[in-house]
Chains A and B, each alone.
Chain A
Amino acid sequence: MLSTLPRRIWAARWAYLFLLPAMVPFFVFIVLPILQGLGLSLYDAQLVARQFIGFDNFVALAKDEVFRQAILSTIYFVVGVVPITVAIALLLAVTVFPLSQGVQSFFRLAFYLPVVASGVVLSIVWLYIYHPTYGLLNYLLSLVGIPRVEWLGRTETALPSLALVVVSWTIGQPLILFLAGLGGIPLDLYDAASIDGAGSWARFWYITFPLLKPTTLFNLITQTIGVFQVFVVVLLMTRGGPMNTTQTIVYRIYETAFTFFHFGYASAMGVVLLVIVGLVAVAQFRLLGQEVEY
């Protein structure tokens, strides 16, 4: 029996050769650093010095007020912003889908361009739009009599203001996926339902929504992974302020590691991020009860 394994490996030598260019950098630059990141979380690691301290980093994290804020606003994004983004994308897709191809393309373009524009570009523009004195938003609101607001400077408005940027930045991809998913639903189903007297709401609730469940789950998961990493908007727009209300986990990791050079502590934050991402993904799978086909 044992002799067959080497034979099977030899028979597949081309497969291994073809895998090599991907697998070498995959292990060196992706897998190995992940494992090292897990290990580093157990060390007190600075620029040069390094000392094993067990779970002390995690104990310190549990008491870290700023990190708690970062977890809270990250949860705000995951539990609040992501479902809203996906729901809006679904409503937009259902609204736009019956229209002509050309009109659909316009909507795809309009909502996907911000995705293409990247976080840096959007952050710079939104800084201008949110500006308390000469920002566009305050001007437009003043037309309907709403007084000037310092959007990014107040503890109540800073996080929702960033959330709006993130929604406008990320809605394009789920929209495109929902449109594609709608295209895959056989029209006969709707015809049959109409003959049976189902109204448009019944058709949406009993045909469209169940059939789009896999797409919805995929959107929720990918959006969640994306929103966990909200960083650019924080760095460029608020730097975590005011009063730490817009801290996010990835921004904490960045500042801890690359401003204060506490590599071990920052790695422990990375592990916490990993655990939360895993838990949320499992919860989403459970909630929508269907597997995404891979």
Chain B
Amino acid sequence: MSIEIEVPRQRSETGQRRSQLGTRVLTWLAVLVAFLAALASLLPLYWMLVGSFKIETNAMSVPPEFWPYAPTIRNWSKLLFGESPTWLWLLNSLVVAMGSATCAVLTSALAGYVFGKKVFPGKTFLFWLVIITMMLPKQISLIPLFLLMRNLKWINSYQGLIAPAVAYPFGIFLIKQYMPTIPNELMNAARIDGADEIQIFTKIILPLAKPAVGALAIFSFVNAWNDYLWQLIMTNDRAMFTLPVGVSKLISQLSNYDLGLAMAGATFAFLPMLIVFLVFQDYFVKGITMGSIKG
């Protein structure tokens, strides 16, 4: 890669010093703006959390309370122990996200390994098919998939919610990208030592591909958790709602929009993802970069 650098004409000593000062001021100004943007980015989440502890009249007060002066847990108790099966929704979401992630990790690790390390007829075609579907908007298959689920009588069922996530093109791609980092000599040595194909996969590939598998597990989990459109059309039984679907219906069905309850619901739907993110933060960052940059 050739890089052309245009050299500006030498400026006088004092001019250069002055412009250096100017650059430094600009740099700090930019950092300040970035910091304010970061606060603005966090503000909605803070507002949600604070709102969930406000009583109705205070949630609607003008000027708004930046800190709840009369904090209440009424919204939370209404959400968690009220008439809506919130805990069941949480369970449904966990089952769907964990089921999807488990299936996606298994199928993608196997397929990614094969695409990365094996030679076989049809490989190029199949891999391009995977790449293409990865880039296509999902909505093109939404209706036939829904009709298929209806024919299978899988509406309002875990298997229906999980099925489209079992094969995960991005996951296959991610693992395939990671394979060159695992030396072939290691696999050959194991083969000479009498290891069979399954052992090579479980004893060498999986442990060495752990960073990629970890990122894959988290991505598929988060993806499945957030696949709102699919969950929305696949469930009409209140007991089968996932947490995001349940919370969103809770809000849209309120005749008199209860802000405190809405904020508690949103916070509750956010918490599991927040925990996953904080625990696996490194995997998130690595995984995002892994998917885009080779090596």
Contacts and interface: CB of A to CB of B under 8 A. Distances in A.
Interface of A: 5, 8-9, 12, 14-16, 18-19, 21-26, 29-34, 36-38, 40, 88, 91-92, 95-96, 98-99, 106-114, 116-129, 133-134, 136, 139, 168, 171, 173, 176-177, 180-181, 184, 189, 192-193, 196-200, 202, 206-207, 210-211, 214-215, 218, 221-222, 225, 228-229, 231-232, 236, 249-250, 253-254, 257-258, 263, 266-267, 270-271, 273-274, 277, 281, 292-294
A111 B270 contact: no
Contact of A120 (B44, B133, B247, B292): B247
A176 B289 contact: yes
Interface in B105-154: 106-108, 110-111, 113-114, 118-121, 126, 129-131, 133, 135-148
Contact of B229 (A21, A123, A231): A231
B262 A33 contact: no
A250 B143 CA distance: 12
17 contacts: A8-B121, A29-B167, A118-B273, A121-B244, A124-B48, A124-B266, A125-B44, A128-B48, A136-B64, A168-B41, A168-B44, A196-B5, A202-B6, A206-B5, A270-B143, A274-B137, A294-B177
B62 A273 contact: no
B140 A274 contact: yes
A91 B59 CA distance: 36
Contact of B137 (A129, A177, A228, A267): A228
Interface stretch (B32-40, B67-75, B179-187): B32-40
Contacts of B266: 120-121, 124-125
Interface of B: 3-8, 10-11, 19, 23, 27, 30-31, 33-34, 37-45, 47-48, 51, 59-64, 103, 106-108, 110-111, 113-114, 118-121, 126, 129-131, 133, 135-148, 163-164, 166-167, 169, 172-173, 177, 197, 201, 222, 225-226, 228-229, 233, 244, 247-248, 251-252, 259, 262-263, 265-267, 269-270, 273-274, 276-277, 281, 284-285, 288-289, 292-294
Nearest to A195: B7
